[in-house]
Structure formats: C-alpha cells, structure tokens
C-alpha cells in the first residue's frame, strides 16, 4: 500500500498549535502571493479550527490577494448557526483577513445533489492547485463531509473522477451536506489535517492502520501519494 508523505506533529496545547500553525500557513500564503500574485486557502468548519482562525486573521499578509473557500458545507442558510460559511465569516474573515475574497458553497438549489454543479462553478475564481487545504477529522474517520455510509461516498472517493462537489449525507442533523470530492481536495500543494483531543488521536492512529477506505474516508487522503499531508494535533 502506498501512503502519502504523512507525518504527525504534536503540540502541548491548542494555543501553541494555533500560533505556530497560523505563522506557517501565513508564510505559505505570502510565498504564493509573491510567486503567483494570489493565494488560495480551503478550510473546514467546526470548533477545532477556531483558535487557529483567530491567530491567522491577524497575520500581516496581503489578504486582498487571498481567496478563501470551504471544503464542505451543511445545507443550511448561511445565517444558520450550523453553517460553515457563517463560522468562517464570524471567526476568520475579520481583522486583516476581512479583505480576503470568500467563496461559499450553499446556493439556491433545493438539495446538495442539485446544487453541486453550481457550487463547483464558484471555484473557477479560485487559484488551483489550492495553496493550502485545511481539513478536520471526525471520530468516525470522516473528513470534509465524506461520511462513512453516505450514499454518494464511493462517487466522492473515486480517485479518477474530475474535481468537483458532491452531495453527501451526515448521520446526524443537519444531515444534507455538500463536499469537495477527493480529487478536488487533493488538487492542493499542501493538505493539513487539524485534530484535537485523545479520541481524535486514537481515530487518526486507527486510520493509519489497515482497513477499508469506505469505513474511514480520511484514509483516502492519508494513503494517497499525490500531495504531502501533515496532521497537526493538540490535546
């Protein structure tokens, strides 16, 4: 089995992790701007990246040249408390980062399946390969909104599929989701997986072991060799 260039970086606290990672990602974005005139950052929602976002938004880079987009989204209105877009706008796109350009995934379609094509069209304005893709991981081994047991999971994990968005189904509410597929997530120069707590560390260790990708979709990211993957953990 071929694995990507994966490594686990441990920090003693989430505060230390957030400060170090923010400097690292800001440096990557600044180098991209210097080399290509713009930079792209794909992020996930949830509570884990909050401290990182708070640190990153204050970094003195040319945010006007940074495009921020989502790896996945709950199919709710952007004003909803569960919306990843709302979380990113409320936490990341403030201070210096308020000048960044943002592309959301939620649109007027009645379902994620019907809105997937329009959602992916928004990525036409975002430089690819993405300079940084920041993912999380659930206790069940999902990443982005690629959940075990979702009806579209095999389509989403098909490594030969064109990059795009796919409708997904989470086991808990709000259940309808939209996610970048594996090909889109890996159309990146760097992939970072941010995890917190002992339970997530055990999940990560299990994901690095043997077993089907369908049971722990994060394995599709960890086992590929297309792009370097770094996992960052704090208790």
- The C-alpha atoms of residue 65 and residue 37 are separated, in whole angstroms, by 7
- Is there a contact between 4 and 220 (Cβ–Cβ < 8 Å)? no
Residue 3 has pLDDT above 70, yes or no: no
Does domain 6-229 fall into CATH 3.40.50.970? Answer: no
Sketch the domain layout of the chain as residue ranges.
6-229
pLDDT (average), residues 96-109 = 97
The first and second tokens of residue 45, run together, are: 């929602």
pLDDT at 132 > cutoff 60: yes
Q: Is residue 2 scored above 60 in pLDDT?
A: no
Cβ–Cβ < 8 Å for 46, 71: no
| pLDDT of 157 above 90 | yes
Under the banding of pLDDT at 50, 70 and 90, the label for residue 7 is confident
Task: Write the Ramachandran bin of 46: left for phi over 0, alpha for psi from -120 to 50, otherwise beta.
Answer: left
Whole-angstrom distance, CA of residue 92 vs CA of residue 4: 29
Residue 4 clears pLDDT 80, i.e. is over it = no
pLDDT bracket for residue 6 (50, 70, 90): low
pLDDT per residue as tens digits for the range 189-234: 999 999 999 999 999 999 999 999 999 999 999 999 999 999 999 9
Query: Maximum distance among all alpha carbons in the chain?
Result: 44
Residue with tokens 């990146």: 188
Question: Which ranges of 72-227 does DSSP label H, i.e. alpha helix?
Answer: 84-91, 112-121, 153-157, 182-185, 198-207, 218-222
CA distances from 77 to 84, 105, 193 (A): 10, 11, 26
pLDDT digit string, tens, across residues 170-184: 998 889 999 999 999
């Amino acid at each position: 089995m071929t694995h990507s260039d994966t490594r686990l970086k441990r920090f003693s606290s989430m505060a230390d992790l957030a400060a170090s990672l923010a400097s690292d990602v800001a440096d990557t974005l600044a180098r991209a701007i210097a080399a290509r005139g713009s930079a792209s950052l794909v992020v996930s929602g949830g509570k884990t990246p909050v401290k990182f976002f708070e640190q990153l938004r204050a970094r003195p880079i040319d945010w006007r040249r940074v495009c921020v987009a989502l790896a996945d989204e709950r199919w709710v209105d952007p004003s909803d408390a569960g919306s990843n877009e709302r979380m990113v706008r409320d936490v990341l796109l403030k201070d210096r980062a308020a000048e960044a350009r943002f592309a959301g995934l939620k649109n007027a379609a009645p379902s994620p399946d019907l809105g997937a094509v329009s959602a992916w069209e928004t990525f036409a304005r975002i430089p690819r390969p993405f300079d940084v893709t920041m993912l999380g991981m659930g206790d069940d081994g999902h990443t982005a909104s690629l959940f075990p047991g979702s009806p579209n999971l095999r389509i989403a994990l098909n490594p030969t599929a064109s990059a795009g968005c796919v409708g997904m189904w989470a086991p808990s509410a709000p259940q309808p989701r939209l996610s970048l597929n594996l090909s889109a997530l890996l159309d990146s120069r760097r992939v970072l997986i941010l995890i917190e707590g002992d339970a997530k560390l055990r999940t990560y260790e299990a994901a690095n072991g043997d077993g089907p990708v369908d049971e722990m979709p994060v394995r599709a990211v960890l086992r590929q060799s297309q792009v370097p993957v770094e996992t960052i953990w704090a208790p």
